[in-house]
A = this chain, B = another copy of it.
Amino acid sequence: MAELLLKVQKREKLADQLYGQILEQIVSGNLGEGTKLPSENEICASFGVSRPVVREALRKLQSDGLVYARQGVGSFVKKRPPQGLIEFGGVNDVAGLLRCFEARLAIEGATARMAAERASVRHHRDIENALSRLENSVAAGDIADKADFDFHMAIARASGNEIFLTILNSLHGVMQKSMNVALNITRAGSAERAKRVLAEHRQIYDAILGRDGESAELMMRYHLHQARQRLTDHAREM
C-alpha cells in the first residue's frame, strides 16, 4: 500500500501544480469569469500531463467553487479570486490551502462543540487571551497569524481530547500559512471586512463561554466557510 500511496501523492502533486497554473490565469483575468476553459485534450497537450492529472485538477477547481462543468459542453470559470490569493499564497500551494479548510470544517466543528461542553475556566482564559491578541493586532494593522492559530489551538485544547491537538499540530504549517494569506487579504480590504473577521471569532468564543455546544459548532463552521470564501471570491466583501 505504501507504494500506491506514493503514486497517488505524486499524481496529486502534479494535479495541484496544474490547479495553480490554471488558477493563476483566472486570477490575472487572462481567463475571465464565464470563459470556457480549453478541453481536457488541449490541457493534456499544453501542460504535458496525463488525462487523470487534468481531471483531478479540474475536479478540485470545481469542488473549490472556482470552475463549473456543463455536461457535454466543458468547464467554465465561475469566479475570480482576489489577487492576494496567489500573491501571498504562491501558485503551487493554493490548492493545499483550500483543501485545508475542508478538513478543518470537520475537525474544528467538533472541537468547538466539545470545548463549549467541557472547557474549564482556565481554558476560557486561554481562548480569550488569544482572541485579545488577535483583536489588538488587527487594530494595529499587523498580520496576526500566530494569534489566530493560538485561538484555534486553545479551543482544540479545551475539547479535552488531545488527539485533536495532535491533528491540528500536524496541520500547523498549512493552517498558519492560510491564516497569513487570509489576514494579508483582509488587511488590504475594507475596515468593515476586518470587523467581520473579528466578529466571527468573538461569536465562537461567546458560544463556548455560554456552554452552548450547538451554537459553538455552528459559529465555527460559519467562520471557516466564510474564511474560505474570502480567499476565493474577489467580489465578496463580507
B221 to A164, Cβ gap below 8 A?
Answer: no
Binds B, one of A5-13, A25-33, A34-42, A86-94: A5-13
- Report how far A106 CA is from B12 CA in the complex, Å: 24
Q: How far is the CB of A161 from chain B (nearest CB, A)?
A: 5
CB of A150 to closest CB in B, whole Å: 7
Among A8, A99, A218, the one with the most B-chain Cβ atoms within 10 Å of its Cβ is A218
Q: Decide if A170 touches B166 in the complex (CB within 8 Å).
A: yes
Taking CB atoms, residues of chain B closer than 8 Å to A218 are: 218, 221-222, 225
Please, which residues of chain B bring their CB within 8 A of the CB of A165?
Answer: 5
Q: CB < 8 Å: which of B71, B174, B225 contacts A71?
A: B71
Which residue of the partner chain B has the closest CB to A110? B106
Q: Would you call A49 an interface residue if the criterion is a C-beta within 8 Å of the partner chain's C-beta atoms? A: no
Instruction: Decide: B160 and A63 in contact? CB cutoff 8 A.
Output: yes
Interface membership of A109, Cβ < 8 A: yes
Cα(A167)–Cα(B165), bound, Å? 12
The answer on a CB contact under 8 Å between A210 and B65 is yes
- Bitwise interface map of A from 99 to 123 toward B, beta carbon under 8 Å scored 1, else 0: 1101101110110001000100000
Does any Cβ of B come within 8 Å of A171's Cβ? yes
Q: Which residues of A contact B (CB under 8 A)?
A: 1, 5, 8-9, 12, 59-60, 63, 65, 71-72, 96, 99-100, 102-103, 105-107, 109-110, 114, 118, 150, 153, 157, 160-167, 170-171, 174, 199, 203, 210, 212, 215, 218-219, 221-222, 225, 238
